[in-house]
Every structure is written in structure tokens, then in C-alpha cells.
Amino acid sequence: MIRIANGQGFWGDWLEAPVRLVEQGPIDYLILDYLAEVTMSILQKQRKADPSLGYARDFPPLMARMARMLRDRNVKVLANAGGINPIACAREVRRLAPNLKIAIVLGDDVLDRIDEFLAQGQEMLNIDTGEPLSKIRDKITSANAYIGAFPLAQALATGADVVITGRCADAALALAPMIHRFDWKADDWNRLSAGIIAGHIVECGAQCTGGNCIADWQNIPDFANIGYPIVEAEHDGTFSITEHPGTGGRVNLETVKEQLLYEIGDPRQYITPDVIADFTSIRLAQAGPDRVRATGIAGAPRTDMLKVSISYAWGWKAAGTLIYSAPQALEKARVADRIVRERLEQLGLEFDAVYTEFFGVNALHGATAEPCPEPPEVQLRMGARGYDRKAVDRFTREMIPLVLTGPPTGTGYGEGRPSVREVIAYWPALVAREMIQTRVEVIE
């Protein structure tokens, strides 16, 4: 049995979690999942501003903080902290934690190969819309293939203390140690599927141990000291999900099921680089306090394609808020919205969209929210997006003037006018598997 713990569900997750996972009980592997699609766009902007950036900057100082305990407790780290610049990330870890042996997995970055792929008949149509890549070809800012767990397992086999990857399938971080330690083969479909499903359960950190859980959330024992998830994986592809004893989360059928269903499509065909996992095959059982056991998992052969996530410069957006108090709080906010729209129209500015929400009334749940005829206060939130930065910039100047030129009781503008942000959008596509070659580099 090996213990694989996930200490980070996204870049910005709780900084103490990885340290506590190593300090508070036995684990063999610490995985850290930093990359969401939104994160890739942030990293892209950072690399554009400074070519030595483009990775999860929290990671090198974390490794410096943990270097000694990782060595003392023989815990290996796998992290997709490399983002779109894994070499720079490894250099910084090397500088801050010189005693750790680092392996890097390379080959996911295909930005320089787009034209080569197109020339070889890889169309890279948008998976969601079917549009041709030519629509955005000159606006592409990054392109990364989702690589699977086998190159990561190869990196672990070098004996590295820390394995740094760029864009890999999130769940591959958990599967890789199983492949490495149990010597699973590339056509072990059922066991690979089990490893991916274990990875899917833990990839969002505490979201499977009671965090963001709707079921009986008031009775999660201690959110402030929530335990992050640990997979206890067996050679035969069965596993348990648990947290360290004495931590404050909850692991039961409800918390695990909610996470199993998080961000999936067809549950019979959860497509990953290594296997197609079948979520309808999972058998779950409560196997002790804060311990859920999974058995029976089946999988099907992997596809011939790999997903490529392409980012491109879409345009600009901004959003701002103002708050109105009772009486007639909602009516005031509605009038304010109409004033801004009329002024923008008078300026003749073009936007792709102007979007208005009324917080305290129906912003999150829309018409499904129960009517609230006289809310004590309403927050007006207006957003605008478009291809012309100047238009979006002008929009940001139209909110605060409402305080003196619109309905009474407008307040809450202390943050100043909203800032204009560049929108880096995503273009999911597929390429033939054989186009992607990965390699492992070791930094002693």
C-alpha cells in the first residue's frame, strides 16, 4: 500500500496544507495540483511581462520550507507547478532548496509546433464549437498538451525528490506513483482507471474531505483545521480515501460522491491521456471513520488523441460594483444600470457584452431565487467586455459618477474605478498522440 496525499487543489489554495500533510501523519507522495485553465492564462500574462516567470511562484518557497522534512520523512513531491515554464520553476527550486534532487517532465509545451502540426494535417478544431484554428492562429499565446502519468512515473524512477511538470492531466499526478510503485502496464485499463478516479477525487484538495460540501455542511467538525485528502492505494487497483486522524474534515460517501461528480461529462467515458475511466463502475463503502473505500473500477483503452489547451488573446473586460440601500434599493440599482447603459450608448462605444447582476436579489440563482420584494441593500455589479481596450476603459469610468449623478444612497466605491483586464481565452483541441514526445531531465 502507498499513501498519496494532495496538498493543493489550485494555485492559491491553503498554504499550510502541504506542510500539515507531511507533519501530521505518514505519507509517501505529496502531489500538488496548481493548474486550472484560468491559472494557465494568469501564467501566460506573467511570462509575457517577464520571461523568467510563468510557473506557480508559491512552489519554490514551499519546497525551501519543506526540504528538510521531505528528506527526513522520505516523502517525494510531484507538482504541475511548472506551468508554462517548468525549467524556470526548477531553477528557482534549485536556488532555494539546493539539496533536493529535481526531475522535470518536458514536452507538453507545443507553442512552437502549431504550424508543424497544421502542416501534418492536425486541424485542432475547437472541441466545443468546431471552429477552425485559423480563426485565432495569429492570437495564440500558449499551447500545451495534456500529458499522462507514464512520463511522470519515469521521472519518479530517476529517484528525484521533486518532480516538476507543466500541463499534465490533473489526475495523472496521483496515478503516476501507482504506476511507478506497482509497475502497472500501459494496457492495465481497469487499474489505470482506478488510479485516475482516485486522482480525480483528490485533485481539488479538501473539496473531497468536507470543503464546499452541501450535505450537512454545518456539521463538518473543524473547517479551520480541515484535513487534506490521502489516497491509500493498493496494487490491485482498489483504494481508500482518508485524512490524517485528528484533522477537521469529513470523509464519507457524501463528501466523496460530490467530488466524484465535480466537473465531469459522460460518466461512462471520462477521457484521460492514459485511459477512459468508467465512473458508473465505482463501488463505494464507508470503511471506518473518515475513510471511504473504492472497488470494482473498470476502464477502457485510451484514445489515439491527446487534448491540447491553446490560449489566445481574446480582448478586454472589466467589472465594477456600487451598493444601494433601502428604501427601494433594487429599484435604485436598476435605474443606475439603465443610466450607465444610456451613457455608453451615447458615446457610441461597441462592446461584445454588457452584463448586469443585482447582488442580494438574484445574481447567483436568477429566476430560481425566491422573490425578495424589499431587500435592505442591493449591490449592483456591471461588467463589460469587448475587443477595443479603450471602450472597456471608458466603461470603468462610468460607474462612480453615478454616486453624484444618479439615484440616492449609492456607496461602496472605495476601491476606486475597476481595472481593465486582458482576456486570455481557451481553445481546447485534439492532436494525434504520436505528435507529442515527452522527455525527463534531472537536475542534480
Binding residues for another protein, per CB under 8 A?
A: 37-38, 41, 128, 212-215, 254, 257-268, 279-284, 314, 317, 319, 353-355, 357, 359, 363-370, 381, 383-385, 423-426, 428
Q: Which is nearer to another protein, 296 or 327 (CB)?
A: 296
CB of 273 to another protein, least distance (A): 16
Pairing of strands 2-6, 29-32: parallel
CB of 104 to another protein, least distance (A): 27
Q: For residues 195 and 294, give the distance between their C-alpha atoms in angstroms, rounded to a whole number.
A: 11
CB of 201 to another protein, least distance (A): 12
CB of 165 to another protein, least distance (A): 21
Closest CA to 17 of 37, 9, 1: 9
CB of 391 to another protein, least distance (A): 14
CB of 265 to another protein, least distance (A): 5
Q: Which is nearer to another protein, 258 or 377 (CB)?
A: 258
Compute the Cα dihedral for 273, 434, 167, 440 and give only its sign: positive
DSSP 226: P
In terms of Cβ atoms closer than 10 Å to its own Cβ (0-12, 13-18, 19+), residue 246 is: exposed
User: For residues 149-164, b (16+ Cβ closer than 10 Å) or e, as one string?
Assistant: bbbbbbbbeeebbbbb
The grid coordinates listed for 16 are: 499550510
386 neighbors 315 (Cβ within 8 angstroms): yes
Q: Which is nearer to another protein, 92 or 170 (CB)?
A: 170
The grid coordinates listed for 44 are: 501566460
Q: Which is nearer to another protein, 235 or 283 (CB)?
A: 283
The grid coordinates listed for 331 are: 429599484
Q: For residues 220 and 248, give the distance between their C-alpha atoms in angstroms, rounded to a whole number.
A: 7
Q: Which is nearer to another protein, 113 or 381 (CB)?
A: 381
CB of 290 to another protein, least distance (A): 18
Q: Which is nearer to another protein, 29 or 358 (CB)?
A: 358
Q: Which is nearer to another protein, 152 or 424 (CB)?
A: 424
Q: For residues 275 and 284, give the distance between their C-alpha atoms in angstroms, rounded to a whole number.
A: 21
CB of 162 to another protein, least distance (A): 29
Long-range (24+ apart) CB contacts under 8 A made by 366-375 are 374/326, 374/327, 374/329, 375/326, 375/329, 375/330
Q: Which is nearer to another protein, 151 or 315 (CB)?
A: 315
Q: For residues 337 and 355, give the distance between their C-alpha atoms in angstroms, rounded to a whole number.
A: 10
